[in-house]
Chain A
Amino acid sequence: MTVTRERAAAVAARPAPARRVRRSGAAFPVHLAMLAWAVVTALPLLWAVVSSFKTDDEILNEPWSLPASPKFDNWSRAWTQASIGRYFLNSVVVVGAALVLTMLLGSLVAYALARYEFRGNRFIYYTFVAAMFFPVFLALVPLFFVVQQLGLLGTYPGLILVYAAYAVPFTVFFLHAFFRTLPSEVAEAAFIDGCSHSGVFFRVMLPMARPGLVAVGIFNFLGLWNQYLLPLVLNPDPDRYVLAQGLAALSVSQGYRSDWSGLFAGLTIAMLPVLVAYVAFQRHIRAGMTAGAVK
C-alpha cells in the first residue's frame, strides 16, 4: 500500500511525458536483467522439485523434460526407506527443544543485562557477544571432547545443549537492544502492585517484547534447522542424524549410483519447512535479517 502511494506521489511530482519516454527506453533491459537472475535463482530449485516426481530413467535420460506421470512414491520411498522421515523427526526434536531453551535462556539473560544494573554487567554482556565473532572451527576439537566426557556424544540432550549454547549469544545481542527500548513505566507499576521480579519478566516484559521474540525466534529456527557442522562432529549415530546431515550422507554414499529420484525427493522434503517459514514470514525475515546486518 505504501509503495502504491509512493509511486503515485512520484508520478505526480514529475512531468509525465518526459518520464514515460525515458521509462519505456530503460524498462526493457532492466526487466531482462531482473528476469535473468530470477531464472538463475529459481530454475535449479524448480528443477529439483520436478525431478523429485520423475522416474530414475527420466532423470538419467531427459534432465530437462517434465515427468510423464508424477511419481509420488519417490517421496514415500525417501521418507521411509532412505530414512529422510527419521532424520526429519530428529531435526524436529532437536531444533524444537533447542529453540525453546535458546529463547528462554537468551531472553532471561538479555532482560537481566538490559534492565538491571550490577557489577560485572558489561563483562557478562561482552562474554556472550564476543563469542559471536569467533569461528566455530576453532572450538570444534575441544568441544568434541567436552561433549564426549559428559557422555553426551550422539544423544539428543547433547545436541540440544550445544545448539542452544551456540545460539544464545546472538539471541542475547538481539534482545538486549530490544529490552532497552521498552518503556519502564509498566514494569514499575507491576512492581508497585506487588509483582515479583520473575513475575514482571514473564507476565509483563515478555509479552511486550513479543515482536522481538518472534523475529529472533525465526532466525534461530532457520539457523538451527540448517546446522550442519555441529551435528557432523557431535552426532555420529546414524539413527540420530539430523536432516542436513542425513541428506549429505545419502548424497555422498549412494547418490551418484542408485536412487536419484529418491534423493531429489529427500532434497525437496528438506527445502519444504524453510519454504513454508519463508512464505509465512517473508516480510519479517527480509526486513529483520537486513536490519541485523546494518547494525
Chain B
Amino acid sequence: MRHGRWRFLAGALVPALVLHAVFVLSPYAQAFYLSLTDWTGVAGEARFVGAGNYPRLGGDSLFLHAVRNNAVMLVVVPTVTIGIGLFLASMMHLGGRGGRRGIAGSGAYQIVYFFPQLLSLVVIAVLWGFVYNPNNGLLNGALRSVGLDGLTRSWLASPSLALIAVMAVLVWSSVGFYVVLFSAAIDSIPRELFEAALLDGAGGWATFRTVTFPLVRESVHVAFVYLGIAALDAFAVVQVMTVGPGGPDGATEVIGLSLYRNAFQYGKFGYASAMGVALFFATLTLAVLALRSGRKERLELA
C-alpha cells in the first residue's frame, strides 16, 4: 500500500507541477530578471542594465499617463460601482421600510443585472464601441430621440470624456455582481435588527447607515479589493474600444496597454518587463493595504 501511495501521489502531482513550473512560475521569475536588461528579443543579446529601466519609466510621458489613468480608475470605478451596488441591493430589501424581504421581482432584477459580468470584456468593449459611436450609436440616438441633441458627443474621441466613457463601461459590467454580493450579505443580517430599527422609528436612510452598512462592511471591503485589481487592468476595454488605442492623446492609456505595446509592437522586452514589475508592486501594495485595514476593522468589531 505504501508503494502505491507514493506512485499515486507522484502521478497526481507531477504533471500539474511541470505545467505550473514551465508556464506560470518560470515566466514570473524571469520577468524580474528581464526587467533589469535591455533585451530586444534577439537570443543571447540581453544586456544587464541593472535598475536602468526604472528611471526611464519616470520619463516616459505615455507611461505616466497610464499610471495617472489607472490611479483615477482605481478610485472612481470601485467607488461608483459599490455605491450603485449598495443602493440597489438595499433598495431591493427595503420592501416596506428596513425590512429584509426582497421587493417583488427582485430575483428577476438580479438575473438581468448579473449577466454582463459573465461576458468577455472584449465583447463588452465591442458592444460599447457601437453604443458610443457618434453617428449611429445607441447613446447619441437616445439623446436625439428625446430632443437633447445638444448633449450628443463624440464620446471616445474627446480627451475630456474618453476616460469617463471607459470607466462607465467598467462600472456597467460589474454593478450586477456586487448587487448580488451585497444582497446576499444583507440577507444574512438577522431580521430582528431591522425590526428593532423600525420600532425605534428609524427611516430608510437611518436604517441603512446604522444597521445595513456596518454589517455588510466586510463585503464592501472585499469588493474594493476585487474592483481595485480589475481597475489596474482595463486592458481589453481600452485596447478594443478607444481610438489609438489609448487615445485620444494618451487620455485612456493604461499600464497593461503600454506594456503590451512596448513588448509586442516595439520589441522592447526588457523595458516592458519593468512595467510588469511596477504593476506587480502596485497590485501587491493594494492587496497589503487592503488586508491590513481589513484586520484593523475586524479588531474594532471584536
* Interface assignment of A68: CB less than 8 Å from any CB of chain B: no
A255 interface residue per 8 A CB criterion: yes
Total A-B pairs, Cβ < 8 A: 290
CB-contacts of A31-56 with B (<8 A): 31, 33-34, 37-38, 40-45, 47-48, 51
Interface residues of B in 274-289 (CB under 8 A from A): 275-277, 279-280, 283, 287
How far in angstroms is the closest Cβ of chain A from B233? 7
Q: Mark A196-234, 1 if CB is under 8 A from B, else 0.
A: 111001000000000000000000001001111100110
Cα–Cα, bound, A60→B30 (Å): 50
Q: Is the CB of A290 within 8 A of B88?
A: no
Residues of B within 8 A of A233 (CB): 260, 264
Q: A31-B103, A252-B240 are in contact. Are A41 and B12 (CB under 8 A)?
A: no
Per the CB 8 Å criterion, the residue count for chain B at the interface is 111
A138 contacts B276, C-beta separation under 8 Å? yes
Q: Is B92 an interface residue (CB 8 A)?
A: yes
Chain A residues whose CB sits within 8 angstroms of the CB of B133 once the complex forms = 256
- B177: interface (CB < 8 Å): yes
CB distance from B138 to the nearest CB of A (A): 5
Q: How far is the CA of A228 from the CA of B239 in the complex (A)?
A: 11
Contacts of A264 in B (CB 8 A): 130
Interface flags for B4-32 (1: CB within 8 Å of A; 0: not) read 11011101110111011011111110110
Whether A116 pairs with B9 at a CB distance below 8 angstroms is yes
Is the beta-carbon distance between B113 and A37 smaller than 8 angstroms?
yes
How far does the Cβ of B16 sit from chain A's closest Cβ, in whole Å? 4
| A interface, size bucket | 35 or more
| B97 within 8 A of partner (CB) | yes
Interface residues of B in 199-251 (CB under 8 A from A): 204, 218-219, 222-223, 226, 229, 232-233, 235-236, 239-240
Interface residue B128 (Cβ < 8 Å from any Cβ of A):
yes
A106 (CB) vs chain B CBs: closest residue: B16
Closest A-chain residue to B8, C-beta based? A197
Contact A141-B272, Cβ < 8 Å, known A134-B28, A165-B24: yes
Partner pick for A116 among B5, B184, B259, CB 8 A cutoff: B5
Q: Are B123 and A270 in contact (CB under 8 A)?
A: yes
8 more CB-based (< 8 A) A-B contacts, given A30-B91, A59-B136 = A14-B96, A27-B103, A138-B273, A168-B20, A169-B24, A256-B133, A286-B110, A294-B218
Interface of A with B (CB < 8 Å)? 3, 6-7, 10, 13-14, 19, 22-23, 26-27, 30-31, 33-34, 37-38, 40-45, 47-48, 51, 59-61, 63-64, 105-106, 108-109, 111-113, 116, 118, 124, 127-128, 131, 133-135, 137-147, 161-162, 164-166, 168-169, 172, 191, 196-198, 201, 222, 225-229, 232-233, 244-245, 247-248, 251-252, 255-256, 260, 263-264, 267, 270-271, 274-275, 277-278, 282, 285-286, 289-290, 293-294
